[in-house]
Chain A
Amino acid sequence: MENWKDSRSVFWTLATPGTLWMFLFFLIPLGFLFVMSFGGKAVIDGQVSITEYDFFPPGLENYIRSFEFTYLRIMWKSIWVSALATALCLVTAYPIAFGICFAPAKWKPLLLLLVILPFWINLLIRTYALIAVFRTQGYVNLTLGWLFGLVGIEFEPLVMLNNNFAVIFGLVYVFMPFMVLPLYATIERLDRSSSKPALISAPRNSPRFLKSRCRLPCQASSPVSFSSSSHALVRS
């Protein structure tokens, strides 16, 4: 690595556009948001203005208001929904990542492509596609109705849209592929021979025991780090 002083002109040419862009269109807007968080609506001639703001004197009213029950409840809901979605992502992504690692070599690229492909498809389109699955006349309800009809039981369509179930399912559906890739990378890198001693010395020679005692601790670092990033994604 060179010292930046050795070729200043190259350094500045490379550094300027990105830094400038970040300052102008990221840092300044965020700073603006921060400053405004201490302000309030301006009062002109005794009337509260809709368009004008007043920053002086800076006050903490907005912050105090944000601790009101309404906002706290929404924040809390965001947190538990994303935590649950992250946990479910991990539960569904793990078998997929595991399965790809132990799949025949010629199948691996195709399977990975199948996991990545939904990532390339517009998020809104994927979410929109879920409506057709979960609405009262959606595929799930139609299938269940058909099954119930076979047995001869009256079927009341389930409400699966516009509720917490739909939100959590949607989040898992959309973010699960993000979870598979890092998990796959970690499991793939894992030295298979490290699980062989466990297999030999394990009192019970069962794969399940092996998996829990040897494989999971090795991988723990990956899901934890990834859960947190997927968590951040979910919250955004």
Chain B
Amino acid sequence: MAATLKPGQGPLDYGNRWWLKLLFGFIFFMLYVPIVTLVAFSFNSDKRGIVWRGFTIDNYAKAWKNDALIEALTNSIVIAIIATIIATVIGAMVAIMLWRFRFPFKGAYEGFMALPIVIPEICMGVALLLFFNESGMMSAVVNTPWPINLSNIIIAHVAFCFPFVAVVVRSRLVGFNRQLEEASKDLGASEWQTFWKVLVPFMMPGLVAGALLAFTLSLDDFVITFFTSGPETVTFPVKVYSLVRRGVSPEINAASTVLIVITIVATVLAMKLQAPEKSGKG
């Protein structure tokens, strides 16, 4: 109501309304209470983790000694790193192609590339399971040395990550001035030199954002991993799921806290890496 406006408060200053502040605070509270308590209770000495019994780091020691949990965590991180690298390269190539070239059936091709984004994860998971099974790829990687037995999961993760990278990189490329490329070629640079010296530096923020997205998507994925992981490979989300079914334990809290810290540090680092370029352009 206009009548309730305080002096000095504009009619569009919604930010100062007490009800908006209250609602705002409440929703943020709801958003963060579970995560904060999860982290806090990883330091709880109570076995069942319900009541606060005192500070301890035993849970971390226990999680560290739990080989299955550590194995799952390393698997997840290795898969995420390899899948991110492959997905970023492929995604960037697709983005450049779609941005640079005109070719027949381009609309259909673009739609095709966006399919993994819109298709339900469960469909993709089941389809990949059938495919890996029937093509013999599933049994081929069983009993192979460590990073190779993760290849099916990595392949699946790349398949659903790179379209996201392509979208992010392409939206960055839209702002590119093609005259820079032409100038570079006029001055005698080859296609390859132009690519590395002109296009890649410009794409960098998009590449970092895309890679970060791919990394989190891969680290986060449960459904597709659940279907494509063989009998002996377990990732962190799959492990947590199987542990939670048997009951809640502070060990999971500790391992989860480690993963949260890793993702937050990775995000902050990536943002820091991006920052100087932005400020350089002013």
Contact = CB atoms under 8 A, between A and B. Distances in A.
Interface stretch (A125-133, A146-154, A218-226): A125-133
A227 interface: no
A14 B97 contact: yes
If over half of B's interface residues share one DSSP class (helix, strand or loop), that class is named, otherwise mixed; here it is helix
B53 to A, nearest CB: 14
Interface in A171-202: 173, 176-177, 192, 195-196, 199
A99 B14 contact: yes
Contact of B130 (A36, A102, A119, A210): A36
Nearest to B34: A129
A125 B12 contact: no
Contacts of B11: 199, 205, 207, 210
Task: Output the residue of B21, B30, B264 with the most chain A CB within 10 A.
Answer: B30
A188 to B, nearest CB: 13
B236 A122 contact: yes
B44 to A, nearest CB: 11
Interface size class of A (residues with CB under 8 A): 35 or more
A26 B97 contact: no
Contacts of B159: 21-22, 25-26
B1 A206 contact: yes
A177 B35 CA distance: 14
B97 A121 contact: no
Interface string B62-105: 00000000000000000000000000011101101100111100
Contact of A2 (B13, B101, B124, B216): B101
Interface in B8-45: 11-15, 20-21, 23-24, 27-28, 30-35, 37-38, 41
Given A7-B191, A199-B11, A137 B252 contact: no
Interface residues of B, number: 77
A217 interface: no
A232 interface: yes
B17 to A, nearest CB: 8
A37 B216 CA distance: 33
A176 B241 contact: no
B267 interface: yes
A1 interface: yes
Contacts, number: 198
A10 to B, nearest CB: 6
A63 interface: no
A26 B222 CA distance: 18
B50 interface: yes
A30 interface: yes
A176 B31 contact: yes
A121 B101 contact: no
Contacts of A3: 101-103
If over half of A's interface residues share one DSSP class (helix, strand or loop), that class is named, otherwise mixed; here it is helix
A205 B2 contact: yes
A210 B1 CA distance: 10
B33 to A, nearest CB: 7
B121 interface: yes
Contacts of A125: 38, 240, 256, 259-260
A104 interface: yes
Given A33-B123, A96-B27, A124 B237 contact: yes
Interface of A: 1-4, 7, 10-11, 13-15, 17-18, 21-22, 25-30, 32-33, 36, 92, 95-96, 98-99, 102-104, 114-115, 117-126, 128-133, 135, 137, 139, 173, 176-177, 192, 195-196, 199, 204-208, 210, 232, 235-236
Given A4-B101, A205-B2, A236-B120, 10 more contacts: A1-B100, A2-B100, A18-B93, A29-B124, A95-B23, A98-B14, A129-B256, A133-B33, A176-B31, A199-B12
6 contacts: A11-B97, A22-B116, A32-B131, A123-B220, A133-B34, A207-B11
Interface of B: 1-2, 11-15, 20-21, 23-24, 27-28, 30-35, 37-38, 41, 49-50, 89-91, 93-94, 96-97, 100-103, 112-113, 115-116, 118-124, 126-128, 130-131, 134, 155-156, 158-159, 162, 166, 191, 216, 219-220, 222-223, 236-237, 240-241, 244, 248, 252, 256, 259-260, 263-264, 267
Q: Which 8 A-B pairs have the closest CB atoms?
A: A129-B34, A29-B131, A102-B15, A29-B127, A14-B97, A18-B94, A236-B120, A4-B103
